[in-house]
Amino acid sequence: MSVPVFSRLNCNVQTLIDGVRRFKNKRVLVIGDLMLDRFVWGSVSRISPEAPVPVVEIRTESTCLGGAANVAVNIRKLGGMPLALGVIGADLEGREVIEKFRELGALTGGVMVDRGRATTVKTRIIAHHQQVCRADREDPTPLSAVLQNRLVARFQSAMARADAVVVSDYAKGLISVGLLQRILPLARSAGKIVCVDPKKKNLAAYRPATVITPNTLEAEQASGIAIHDERALVRAGRKILRQTGVEHLLITRGEHGMALFEGNARVTHIPTLAKEVFDVTGAGDTVISTLALGLAAGLPVLEAAVLSNVAAGIVVGKLGTASVDPEELIAAIRERAGR
C-alpha cells in the first residue's frame, strides 16, 4: 500500500503499527465450526487409465487446524489469546484438534465432544503447488438441545473474560439461528465487540453484531443484487445495512479488495494488497481474526479493516492454510508505506 493510498483512506501508518502491538494478550472468544485441514502433497506425471483424472504420487501429508479453529490459530499467531468454543467428534481427528490447540498454547475448555458426530475434516490434494481436488467429511446436522444449552452456558461464562467475540460460521451445524438468537443478545448486553464471518443467506440472523464480513457472493445472495460494478456494490451494501441493522459491514472482494460500509452510510473502498496469490485457503479467517483484534485493541473500524486487508494480502501469498505474526504484519505495513 503506497503513501497516497494511506492518505486517501485517512489511515496513519504509526496508528496501524501501534494497533498491531496492542494485539498482545487480547482475549477473543471464537465460536464456530471447528475443523481439521489435511493436506496431501505430491506430484503428477500421468493420467489414470481408469478415468480421465491425474494420478497423484504422494510425497508427504500434513494437518492443521481449520474453520473456526483456524481463526483461533490466526488470533494466537498475531499475539492474542483465543477462547475457542465448538464441537468435535469422539474420534482420532477430534483428539488431533485438541492436541493442536494445546501445542498452540490456546485454551481448550470450550471444546466439547459430541459422540454422535464426526469431526469435520477437509482433505486437499495438492500437486505442483496446485490443488487437484478436495474431499470433505462433515455432519451439518444441528446440535441437540442438550448440547446447545451447554454451549450457551459456556459462551456466557467465557464471554466475561473476552475483549471481543468472533462468530465463525461454516454451515457445519453449529451456528444455527436458534443459537444466534441466544448468544448475540448476551454479547450485546455485555457490551462486547462481535465480528461475524457469515454463511447464511439471511444476514439479519446475525443481528445484533458490530461488523459482518460477507464475501461478494454472500453479499449478492443476501441483497438480491448482482454486484457487477461499484455502483451495484454500494446498493447491495446499503441494503444489507438496512436489513440487518448492524453497525458496520465489510464486504471482502478478492482481487478487488474490500468495501467498508458504516452505519452512517459512509462507504470506503480498500484496494487489495496481495502481491501474489498462491492460495486463498483461510484468507477469510485471517480477515475476521485481524479485524476482531484491531477493534479489541481500540482501533476505529476503518483502521481495523485496513489491517485485516494487509494481513489477508500476506496469507494468500502462502500455500495452504496460513497465518501471519505481528512482526510480519508490521513489516508489510511499512513496506507498503514505503518506509
Torsion of CA 304, 167, 79, 328, to 10 degrees: -60
**Contact in structure between 36 and 86 (CB atoms under 8 Å):** no
The catalytic position among 163, 229, 285, 325 is 285
* Exposure b/e, 264-296, CB count within 10 A at least 16 = b: eeebbebbbbbeeeebebbbbbbbbbbbbbbbb
**Contact in structure between 260 and 270 (CB atoms under 8 Å):** yes
Nearest residue to 240 (alpha-carbon basis) of 270, 187, 198, 192: 198
Given strand 120-127, what is the order of strands in its sheet?
54-67, 34-47, 120-127, 130-137
* Cell numbers given for 61: 501429508
33 tagged catalytic: no
CA distance 231 to 243: 19
Q: Tally helices (H) and strands (E) across the chain.
A: 11, 13
CA distance 331 to 71: 22
**Contact in structure between 326 and 311 (CB atoms under 8 Å):** no
**Contact in structure between 313 and 274 (CB atoms under 8 Å):** yes
- Catalytically annotated residues: 285
